[in-house]
Amino acid sequence: MRVAQSTFAFNFLTQLNQLEQRQNNLQTQAATGQLFSLPEQNPSAMGQVLNLQTDVNATTQYQNNITQLQQTATSTSDAISGLKAISDRMNEIATLADGTKSPAQLQAYATEVGQLIQQAVQLGNSKDQGNYIFGGTATGAPPFVATTDSSGNVTGVAYQGNTSVAQVEISPGTTVSTAIPGANTTGTGPRGLFVDSRYGADFFGHLISLRNDLQSGNTAAIASTDAPQLSKDEDNLLYHVTANGIIQSRLQTASTLATQHNLSSNTELSQKTSADIAQTITELQQAQTAYSAALQSGSSILNLSILNYLH
């Protein structure tokens, strides 16, 4: 049987190219630590990898959302704690300001209440990450604006925000909000922090009333009207303290789950894409040996006369 030298040469070059491509692929794997970098190298695995990468990116975004929400929730908690301290002191003063106190003592209480009203306005205009946190979705301007008399006493506090709150996604199909509107007199929607008509809360209005009654020495009104009103404000603040604690706990749980999910996805992604370096180097050495042997033997055979293939 006669073997055409051109046929042998063609087959030889084809095998040689395959061995060279094998070497190149293994060298790339050894250099990058990745099993493949192009879809055509492993279409099935690449599809799975792309899905995993999409999942990891989405979970990472959820983690970022959760982190931002946690920061806002912490800032909100700090502000509410400050308001609770003011509320505690207001209730204490309302109890102390009875008929046994002198006008001078009542005036001293009035001065203190006036200062605490100003402090409450500052807390109402608290910011987090550059945004006002008690204005609803109107985060770009101070939600509370105080008016004062010629003596600098706050005579009224107007709410400039709204009652809407932004919802943020923390997992597929799950959204939460850490926002609290400063006031809500609509009768529906999120509960207001300073003012909410459904629960009789009107923090600024009740503090101003207490200060005015202290200035006028009207201890009867303090006992019959101011004290019960301040109790409603305190109950409202306690509700928000509890709600904030619940949302922080929920965010912590969501953060833990997202971290675990990303760890699992990244592990699976690594298993599908990462090369076993030790095995890759061994296979590379074998491929290099096979390539050298094929090159040497092929060159020797091609140098022979065609007569060597006649039988």
Please state the domain extents for the chain: 5-53+275-309, 73-266
Of 267, 251, 54, 89, which Cα lies nearest the Cα of 170? 251
DSSP 222: I
- What span, in angstroms and rounded, lies between the C-alpha atoms of 231 and 218? 19
Tell me whether residue 124 is exposed, middle or buried, using C-beta atoms within 10 angstroms of its C-beta: 0 to 12, 13 to 18, 19 or more. buried
Residue pLDDT, tens place only, 244-294: 999 999 999 999 999 999 888 877 776 666 544 556 566 556 666 766 766
Structure tokens at 296: 């040497």
Compute the C-alpha angle 220/221/222, nearest 5°: 90
Position 105, amino acid = Q
- What span, in angstroms and rounded, lies between the C-alpha atoms of 236 and 191? 9
CATH among 1.20.1330.10, 3.30.200.20, 3.40.50.11440, 3.30.70.1020 for 73-266: 1.20.1330.10
The parts of the chain modelled with pLDDT lower than 70 are 1-13, 15-46, 270-288, 290-291, 293-311
Per the prediction, the chain carries an average pLDDT of: 85
Structure confidence at residue 262 (pLDDT): 87
Q: Provide the 3-class DSSP secondary structure of residue 86.
A: helix
